[in-house]
């Protein structure tokens, strides 16, 4: 009987633990399933993207001083290359243009903007970076969050699935 009680308690603790780990943590207000705010930035470092009505938009809020943000740049470059026809990748930093332009490694190969006024960041309630939102062609946020959060990572497979499911 004692072994059964211990087994049940241990099983309950493990189940509760896995449920707590599975819950996605967000360092921003949630816009999942909601209309994304209109893209508004102070200026562009790259050319301004021409977003077609059938394209998804991935927006990455980042900073040059943020190690996870810098880690994300090569992955975002790959997403732009792999999904370029269906996806527009945009990085928005709240730092001055000169600070972003001084970053040479890793090289940003997707659209890049600066917004020292933090218009978009404040509208989305972003409190931690990197923060990514993926917007479908209808303007609805279909993914949001910290792209390296364990069990909730943003990967090429996740993007591929979302492009199919939300088109």
110 DSSP 8-state letter: S
What is the distance between the alpha carbons of residues 30 and 15, in angstroms, rounded to a whole number? 26
Instruction: Say which residue, 14 or 127, is predicted with more confidence.
Output: 127
**Helix extents (H) in the chain:** 2-22, 67-83, 97-101, 119-123, 156-165
Are 86 and 55 in contact, with CB atoms under 8 Å apart? yes
CA-closest candidate to residue 76, choices 38, 46, 99? 46
Query: Domain limits of the chain?
Result: 24-165
For residues 71-92, average pLDDT: 97
Tokens 């943590």: give the residue.
Answer: 25
Checking if the pLDDT of 23 tops 90, the result is no
> Where does the pLDDT of residue 5 fall: very low under 50, low under 70, confident under 90, or very high at 90 and above?
very low
- Token output for 34: 């909601």
What is the distance between the alpha carbons of residues 36 and 54, in angstroms, rounded to a whole number? 16
**DSSP-derived 3-state class of residue 87:** strand
Q: Which pLDDT value is given to residue 167? A: 72
Q: Which pLDDT value is given to residue 14? A: 38
What is the distance between the alpha carbons of residues 118 and 134, in angstroms, rounded to a whole number? 19
Considering the chain, what percentage of its residues have pLDDT values greater than 70? Answer: 87
**DSSP-derived 3-state class of residue 117:** coil
Which CATH code fits 24-165?
3.40.30.10
48 DSSP 8-state letter: P
Q: Which pLDDT value is given to residue 22? A: 57
| This prediction's pTM | 0.86
């Amino acid at each position: 009987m004692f072994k059964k009680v211990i087994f049940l308690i241990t099983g309950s603790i493990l189940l509760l633990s896995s449920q707590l780990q599975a819950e996605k943590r967000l360092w921003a207000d949630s816009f999942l399933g909601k209309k994304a705010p209109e893209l508004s930035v102070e200026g562009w470092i790259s050319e301004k993207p021409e977003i077609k009505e059938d394209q998804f938009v991935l927006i990455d809020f980042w900073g040059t001083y943020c190690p996870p943000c810098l880690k994300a740049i090569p992955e975002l470059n790959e997403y732009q290359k792999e999904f370029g026809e269906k996806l527009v990748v945009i990085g928005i930093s709240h730092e001055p243009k000169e600070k972003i332009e001084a970053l040479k490694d890793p090289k940003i190969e997707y659209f890049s903007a600066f917004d020292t006024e933090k218009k978009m960041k404040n509208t989305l309630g972003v409190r931690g970076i990197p923060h990514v939102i993926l917007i479908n062609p209808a303007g609805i946020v279909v993914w949001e969050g910290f792209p390296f959060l364990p069990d909730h990572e943003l990967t090429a497979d996740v993007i591929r699935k979302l492009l199919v499911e939300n088109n």
